[in-house]
């Protein structure tokens, strides 16, 4: 157990009016005294696992405080060292805490903005993807309607043949009395007169005329019936042709609409993909920052390094205060100093915002571990041509692979 050299203390307390040689000797002894105290404190810190590099830095800083020509006592010099440690080292460590906190805040803010944008663009992509899928489903239905209209037209044309042929077949050709069937047989020499035969003959004529009239009426009615049926069949053909034209126009309009929706949907999907890549870039930046903060023997953001620095400077400052107060440089004194150290209390607890990060990388907001992305989950094979078959429209699952590298296309379609 050692105390500061009494000889040095006495020498440092001598009258300030010393000769140049004596003053030089005094400075040498003062430096030696400070170096001795710092050396012994440093050696003791190293037995507790203190970083040798940090201890050496503190010793060099202390020796810088020895001003040529000064007549300070060792205690006064050590008090200056304490102040210097506070202003030169502690202040920088506290500034590290503020700067690192701001860096974390900035990283989380950037991630928040990128996440909000990615989620919004995903909503737009989902909406437009759904609109296109619904449009193609409707386009297919309209193609089915065309095929049904074509079948209806063909059936109407087939149904027209018989009644129109019947109309033609039943066209009136006129009925001719069959004079050869009339019989008149009278012999005056035998019958004395022909009154009865004439009356019978007239009856035959009347009967023939009545028959002709009845047959003509029946033929007209039959033809009229056939004509009406033919006209109705022709009207049905025209209606079916009009329906087919309307169905074709409806399908063509839907096809044009769906093509526009397909372009909008594809653009929206690709815009979302780039937004997701940017969001994941911010995730990487945040993780890199946290890794740098947690790294031992790291850079300017290293928390373990700052903890070691704080432990070394706080222990040294405390021990120097003890020496000035007359205590011994001992393990017991160091125990008391170390027990009073609290990095979290004196420097601060760094909020890494892990909770916010976890929420921003939840599945609902994209974890950035995604290999595939689901929109509405459906896509279509749409047949080409001016009159494709409805069977050419095929629905398939749609969960495209995604690349999260900002230097690549997010989806194959992009």
Q: For residue range 310-363, what is the model confidence (pLDDT) as tens digits?
A: 888 888 888 888 888 877 778 888 888 888 989 999 999 999 999 999 999 999
Q: What is the DSSP letter of 66?
A: -
Q: Which of 15-24, 248-257, 293-302 has the lowest mean pLDDT?
A: 15-24
Looking up tokens 């996440």 gives 115
pLDDT, position 287: 97
Structure confidence at residue 6 as a pLDDT band (50, 70, 90): very low
Q: Which of 6-20, 95-109, 142-156 has the lowest mean pLDDT?
A: 6-20
Over its C-alpha atoms, the chain yields an Rg (Å, rounded) of 55
pLDDT, position 68: 45
Per-chain mean pLDDT for the chain: 82
Mean pLDDT of 118-122: 98
pLDDT, position 101: 95
Distance CA(54)–CA(39), nearest Å, equals 12
Query: How many C-beta atoms surround the C-beta of residue 325 within 10 A?
Result: 8
pLDDT, position 228: 93
**Contact criterion met (CB below 8 Å) for 349 and 96:** no
Residue 290 has pLDDT above 90, yes or no: yes
pLDDT, position 161: 94
pLDDT, position 289: 97
**Contact criterion met (CB below 8 Å) for 40 and 359:** no
Distance CA(193)–CA(183), nearest Å, equals 17
Q: What percent of the chain has pLDDT over 70?
A: 79
Cα dihedral 361, 366, 368, 373 in deg (nearest 10):
170
Residue 172 has pLDDT above 50, yes or no: yes
Residue 270 has pLDDT above 90, yes or no: yes
Residue 281 has pLDDT above 70, yes or no: yes
**Contact criterion met (CB below 8 Å) for 62 and 18:** no
Inter-CA distances, 376 with 125, 155, 214, 396, 414, Å: 9, 40, 75, 11, 18
**Contact criterion met (CB below 8 Å) for 352 and 290:** yes
CA angle 204, 209, 214 (to 5 degrees): 125
pLDDT, position 166: 87
Mean pLDDT of 193-205: 77
Structure confidence at residue 69 as a pLDDT band (50, 70, 90): very low
Distance CA(66)–CA(317), nearest Å, equals 17
Q: Helices 303-325 and 20-47 meet at what angle, rounded to 10?
A: 130
pLDDT, position 205: 80
Structure confidence at residue 99 as a pLDDT band (50, 70, 90): very high
Backbone angles phi, psi at 383, to 5 degrees: -70, 150
CA angle 410, 412, 414 (to 5 degrees): 65
- Tens digits of residue pLDDT in 21-57: 433 333 444 445 555 656 666 665 555 555 555 555 6
Q: What percent of the chain has pLDDT over 90?
A: 53
């Amino acid at each position: 157990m050692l105390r500061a050299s009494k000889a040095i203390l006495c020498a440092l307390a001598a009258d300030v009016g010393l000769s140049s040689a004596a003053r030089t000797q005094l400075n040498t002894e003062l430096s030696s005294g400070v170096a001795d105290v710092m050396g012994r404190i440093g050696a003791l810190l190293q037995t507790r696992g203190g970083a040798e590099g940090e201890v050496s830095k503190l010793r060099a800083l202390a020796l810088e405080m020895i001003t040529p020509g000064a007549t300070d006592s060792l205690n006064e010099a050590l008090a200056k060292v304490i102040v210097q440690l506070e202003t030169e080292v502690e202040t920088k460590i506290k500034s590290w805490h503020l700067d690192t906190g701001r860096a974390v805040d900035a990283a989380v803010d950037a991630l928040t903005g990128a996440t909000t944008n990615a989620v919004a663009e995903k909503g737009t992509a989902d909406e437009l993807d759904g609109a296109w899928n619904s449009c193609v489903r409707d386009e297919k239905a309209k193609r089915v309607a065309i095929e049904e209209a074509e079948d209806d037209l063909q059936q109407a044309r087939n149904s027209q043949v018989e009644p129109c042929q019947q109309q033609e077949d039943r066209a009136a050709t006129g009925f001719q009395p069959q004079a050869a069937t009339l019989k008149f047989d009278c012999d005056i020499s035998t019958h004395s007169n022909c009154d009865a035969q004439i009356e019978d003959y007239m009856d035959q004529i009347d009967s023939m005329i009545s028959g002709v009239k009845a047959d003509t009426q029946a033929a007209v009615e039959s033809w009229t019936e056939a004509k009406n049926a033919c006209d109705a069949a022709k009207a049905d053909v025209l209606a079916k042709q009009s329906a087919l034209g309307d169905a074709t126009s409806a399908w063509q309009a839907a096809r044009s609409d769906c093509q526009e929706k397909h372009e909008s949907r594809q653009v929206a999907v690709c815009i979302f993909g780039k937004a997701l890549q940017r969001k994941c870039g911010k995730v990487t930046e945040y993780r890199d920052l946290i890794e740098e903060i947690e790294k031992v023997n790291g850079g300017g953001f290293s928390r373990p390094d700052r903890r070691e620095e704080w432990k070394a400077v706080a222990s040294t400052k405390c021990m120097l205060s003890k020496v000035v107060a007359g205590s011994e440089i001992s393990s017991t004194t160091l125990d008391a100093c170390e027990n009073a150290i609290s990095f979290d209390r004196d420097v601060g607890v760094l909020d890494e915002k892990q909770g916010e990060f976890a929420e921003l990388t939840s599945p609902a907001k994209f974890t950035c571990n995604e290999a595939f992305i689901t929109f509405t989950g459906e896509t279509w094979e749409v047949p080409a041509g001016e009159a494709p078959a409805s069977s050419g429209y095929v629905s398939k699952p749609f969960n495209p692979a995604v690349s999260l590298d900002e230097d690549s296309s997010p989806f194959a379609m992009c």
